[in-house]
Structures are given as C-alpha cells and as structure tokens.
C-alpha cells in the first residue's frame, strides 16, 4: 500500500514486512514521539507502536501470504524434479502430481482470503492516517494475479493427474506384470475390474448335461461330452493363474487344475 506522493502524510508506504513512515505519531501518545524512515516490521524501533502498525487482520494476511508462498515453492521444486525425470515410479508420479495440485489449490485459496481481508480493511480509520489518500500498490495486484495463476495451475495438474490414474488402471488390467504398481493396489484394481459374473466349471457342466439330455442322442454322447467339457477362457485364466497378494509381483501357477486336465485327457484317450 502507498500514500499519495504529492501530499505530505505521516505514512509513506508499506509491505508485508516493511513500513516506511515520515513523522508518524502514535494515537493518544502524550510524548508525541515521531517515527521516520523505512524499517523492518519486527525492528526494535517500532516496538512501542507495533500494535498500531500490525493489527490482527494484518497479521492474518501476513500468515496466509507466507504459507501460500511456501506452498508454491514446494510445488515448483516438485515440478522441476518431475520435469527432469527424477521421478520414474508410476505411482510416485501420481503422488507428486497430486501434491503439486494440492499446493497450488491451497495457495490459491489462501491468497484469495488474504487479498479479500486486506482489501476490506486497508482503509480503516484507526489504522493509518488519512486513509482516503492511501491506495493498494502494484504488489497487491500481483497477489491477485498470483491467485488466478495458482488456480489455473491447480486445475491443469489435476486433469493431468486424473488422466495418469486412468492410464495406470488400463496398464494394470492389460499388462499386470509390466507396470510398477504396488502389490495391494494392483490386486484391488484387478478385483475391481474383473467380471463378477464368473460361473464355476461344475455349474456349467450341469447346464451342459441338461441341454444334452434334452437332445434325442444325449444318452450316447453324455459321457463323452462331460469328459470333453472345458472351462471358458476367462474361467481358465482365473483358475490357472491366481494372483497372490503375498507373493510380490509373481503369478502363482496352480498345479492342481493342471492335474485335473491331464486326468481328463487320459480318460479321453482310454475311451478312444
């Protein structure tokens, strides 16, 4: 905030952490001590008038802007690491993209609140003298612009993160062993997208026998058809290769079903 330069006023300009005064006198001060120059807000020179220079709403503005600046710094450092391909794990990429989105969105919200608080209270008569001659400077405009850009960045990185999550789900379903995804997350994705209407082999065999018995020549071919019944590809895939949550990234081959298939083949050869 700045004061009109062509008119002499006790207040010159201020920032979040610096005040410039020219003959500023504290209200109701019996000694009428004047303060001059530009000083840091926490300087001992302003110790007696600190409560007048920094009211509660201005302190909240300082805290919000400082937190938003720290969040944007974290987002920028993470983005540089992401663009330099230092993050190669698929799930880590989604995590860091989510972190960048969170930082930018939080920074946008905090900056919006800080700008509104300062814009409502900067002309308070009990704060700076001659509030009519005081007006927000270029830094206030940059704070507003920073809030809008942070919001746009949060939306952009949020969309990128959502697309990457969809790609991970597709990769896990199509190539479950080639994608670097945690074991529990891969197992959950496979169970979520695996068709639930899987019919057991015994139930399908019963249905096949019923359909064969309805045929006039079912007595001759019932025994042969029951032995030749093979489970569908999806059921065979689900029964032969079962995913184990405790085995890391390996698939456990179920030998019990292979033995059953070999016994069926031996029966067919003996009957022939």
Domains of the chain, residue spans: 1-50, 55-194, 203-271
Which of the pair, 54 or 228, is modelled with greater confidence? Answer: 54
Which of the pair, 59 or 89, is modelled with greater confidence? Answer: 59
* Nearest CA-CA partner of 139 in 122, 126, 152: 122
* pLDDT tops 60 at residue 40: yes
**Of 63-72, 183-192, 250-259, where does mean pLDDT reach its minimum?**
250-259
The predicted model scores a pTM of 0.58
* pLDDT tops 80 at residue 44: yes
Q: Provide CB contacts within 8 A for 13, sequence distance 6+.
A: 1, 2, 3, 20, 137
* Nearest CA-CA partner of 76 in 54, 96, 56, 95: 96
> Hey, which bits of 188-249 come out as E strands?
241-243
* pLDDT tops 60 at residue 222: no
Residue with tokens 């008119």: 7
Q: How confident is the model at residue 270 (pLDDT cuts 50, 70, 90)?
A: very low
Contact 183, 249 (CB under 8 A): yes
The predicted pLDDT at position 151 comes to: 92
Q: How confident is the model at residue 105 (pLDDT cuts 50, 70, 90)?
A: very high
């Amino acid at each position: 905030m700045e004061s009109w330069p062509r008119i002499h006023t006790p207040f010159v300009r201020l920032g979040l952490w610096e005040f410039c005064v020219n003959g500023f006198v504290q209200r109701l001060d019996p000694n009428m001590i004047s303060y001059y120059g530009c000083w840091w807000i926490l300087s001992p020179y302003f110790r007696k008038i600190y409560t007048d220079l920094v009211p509660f709403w201005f302190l909240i503005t300082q805290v919000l802007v400082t937190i938003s600046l720290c969040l944007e710094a974290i987002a920028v450092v993470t983005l540089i690491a992401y663009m330099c391909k230092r993050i190669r794990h698929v799930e880590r990429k989604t995590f860091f993209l989510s972190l960048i989105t969170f930082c930018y969105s939080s920074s946008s919200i905090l900056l919006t609140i800080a700008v509104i608080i300062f814009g409502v209270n900067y002309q308070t008569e009990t704060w700076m003298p001659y509030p009519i001659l005081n007006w927000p400077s270029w830094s206030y405009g940059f704070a507003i612009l920073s809030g809008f850009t942070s919001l746009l960045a949060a939306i952009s990185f949020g969309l990128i993160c959502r697309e990457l999550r969809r790609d991970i789900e597709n990769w896990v379903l199509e190539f479950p062993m080639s994608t670097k995804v945690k074991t529990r997350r891969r197992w959950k994705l496979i169970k979520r997208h695996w068709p639930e209407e899987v019919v057991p082999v015994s139930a399908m065999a019963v249905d096949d026998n019923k359909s064969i018995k309805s045929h006039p020549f079912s007595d001759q071919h019932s025994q042969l058809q029951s032995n030749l019944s093979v489970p569908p590809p999806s059921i065979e895939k689900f029964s032969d290769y079962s995913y184990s949550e405790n085995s890391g990234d390996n698939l456990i081959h179920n030998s019990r079903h292979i033995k059953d298939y070999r016994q069926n083949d031996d029966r067919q050869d003996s009957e022939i």
